[in-house]
Amino acid sequence: MKKVINTPKAPAAIGPYSQAILSGNTLYISGQVPIDPATGKIPEGIEAQTEQVMQNIKAILDEAGYTFKDVVKSTCLLASMEYFKPMNEVYSKYYTTECPARAAFAVQALPLGALVEIETIAVK
């Protein structure tokens, strides 16, 4: 079974993909960039951008009936590794115990000039 998960509380997809796909008991959340769904704008600075990304992920988790405790894997993409520490400080507010597996990479560029993008997998 495959179900598309979509919520207006997270930014609409900016390409041919879904916000998330629920397959069985596994939720695959597409990489979230820091677009504020209310304004369509990206906040300034890595901390504010990471906070927005995490709020977008939360909105999708909520829509699907999942929580951050269900997250088993995150992949963090950064415009530069200089953003790793401040991104990690914000990220760590959402995962305090039984943290998910994670990878973090610096990439050449992210959509819309974002500094951070995070994709997420959750399982119930």
Predicted TM-score (pTM) of the model is 0.96
State the 10-residue block means of pLDDT for the chain, 124 residues long.
95 92 98 96 98 98 98 98 98 96 96 97 97
Give the dihedral sign, CA 10/15/16/17.
negative
Domain boundaries, the chain: 2-123
Structure tokens that stand for 76 in this block: 């963090």
CATH topology for the 2-123 domain: 60s Ribosomal Protein L30; Chain: A; (3.30.1330)
Cβ-defined contacts of 87-93 (< 8 Å, 24+): 87/46, 87/47, 87/50, 87/116, 89/47, 90/47, 90/50, 90/51, 90/54, 91/50, 91/54, 91/118, 93/54
